[in-house]
């Protein structure tokens, strides 16, 4: 109970809300556990509530009939998922599964909406979180349509660098195959582009550890647009 409240208090959704409200939220929240690689929900399935990640990583993704997959978002502790059908429609717009062992809090739709209606500050927090998610989605659309793969990767590396405290020594937080699915490319192409960027002296890759070398090129955004890194294929 206390530890549910703790999780809620630190989540993006509920950060900064008054203690009594957090208490009420903790009362309706149910803890759920998932093993690594487990399906949490499937696109198109009916929804009776949403989740907040307490521990571990969850991927939100769309899958094609032939098995290709596009990750929309990788969620970490404190982030909500499955909110769309709470407010519109009945089914999940995407699938979710765990990338690691996961603990999540489940908040049933009905009880949550009752709380929402009674607490405007809660509603505003939810809207802010949804707006943030929309920014991310808009950026992803832009990225898929207007940037080539090197530019998408560069943007992602910069994002990680910021998230990991502005260091130039970053660590990929997901396997490269998953990163490829997140960037909308294949593992093979991603691997080749790591090579190209290494050969160009921009980065050094050692497993999941990546050093950003040419700081000016990164900071200046030189590689942010199309075609800059591109050169003959490594080999």
Partner DNA sequence: TCCAATTCTTGAGCTATGTCAAGGAATGGC
Partner DNA sequence: GCCATTCCTTGACATAGCTCAAGAATTGGA
Site string for DNA, 121-160 (x = CB under 7 A): ---------------------------xxx----------
Site string for DNA, 59-78 (x = CB under 7 A): -------x-x----------
Per CB under 8 A, the list member of 49, 80, 85, 150 interacting with its own copies is: 85
Report which DSSP code applies to 48: S
Helical H segments across the chain, by residue range? 2-10, 19-28, 84-87, 109-118, 120-146, 149-163, 176-183, 187-199, 215-219
Q: For residue 30, which of 10, 57, 50, 11 has the smallest C-alpha distance? A: 50
Task: Kindly state whether residue 145 participates in binding its own copies, applying the rule CB under 8 A.
Answer: yes
- Report the distance separating Cα 80 and Cα 54, nearest Å: 10
Task: Kindly state whether residue 130 participates in binding its own copies, applying the rule CB under 8 A.
Answer: yes
Task: Kindly state whether residue 137 participates in binding its own copies, applying the rule CB under 8 A.
Answer: yes
Nearer to DNA, 127 or 199 (CB): 199
Burial class (CB in 10 A: 0-12, 13-18, 19+), 9: middle
The option from its own copies, DNA, none interacting with 93 (CB < 5 to 8 A, set by class) reads its own copies
Instruction: At 63, list the tokens.
Output: 């899958």
- Report the distance separating Cα 112 and Cα 99, nearest Å: 27
Task: Kindly state whether residue 187 participates in binding DNA, applying the rule CB under 7 A.
Answer: yes
- Report the distance separating Cα 212 and Cα 198, nearest Å: 10
Nearer to DNA, 28 or 205 (CB): 205
Residue ranges binding its own copies (CB under 8 A): 62-66, 68, 70, 72, 83-89, 93-94, 113, 116-118, 120-121, 123-124, 126-135, 137-142, 144-147, 184, 225-226
């Amino acid at each position: 109970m206390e530890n549910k409240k703790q999780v809620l208090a630190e989540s993006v959704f509920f950060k900064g809300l008054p203690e009594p409200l957090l208490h009420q939220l903790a009362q309706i929240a149910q803890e759920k556990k998932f093993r690594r690689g487990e399906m949490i929900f499937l696109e198109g399935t009916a929804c009776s509530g949403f989740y907040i990640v307490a521990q571990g990583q969850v991927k939100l993704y769309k899958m094609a009939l032939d098995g290709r997959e596009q990750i929309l978002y990788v969620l970490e502790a404190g982030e909500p998922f499955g909110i769309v059908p709470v407010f519109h429609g009945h089914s999940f717009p995407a699938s979710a599964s765990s990338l690691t062992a996961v603990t999540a809090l489940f908040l049933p739709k009905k009880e949550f909406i009752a709380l929402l209606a009674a607490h405007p500050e809660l509603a505003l927090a939810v809207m802010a979180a949804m707006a943030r998610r929309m920014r991310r989605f808009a950026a992803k659309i832009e990225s898929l349509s207007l940037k080539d793969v090197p530019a998408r990767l560069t943007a992602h590396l910069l994002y990680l660098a910021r998230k990991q405290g502005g260091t130039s020594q970053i660590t990929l937080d997901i396997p490269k195959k998953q990163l490829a699915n997140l960037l909308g490319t294949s593992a093979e192409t991603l691997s080749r582009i790591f090579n190209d960027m290494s050969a160009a002296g921009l980065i050094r890759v050692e497993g999941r550890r990546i050093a950003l070398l040419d700081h000016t090129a990164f900071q200046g955004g030189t590689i942010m647009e199309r075609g800059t890194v591109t050169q003959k294929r490594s080999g």
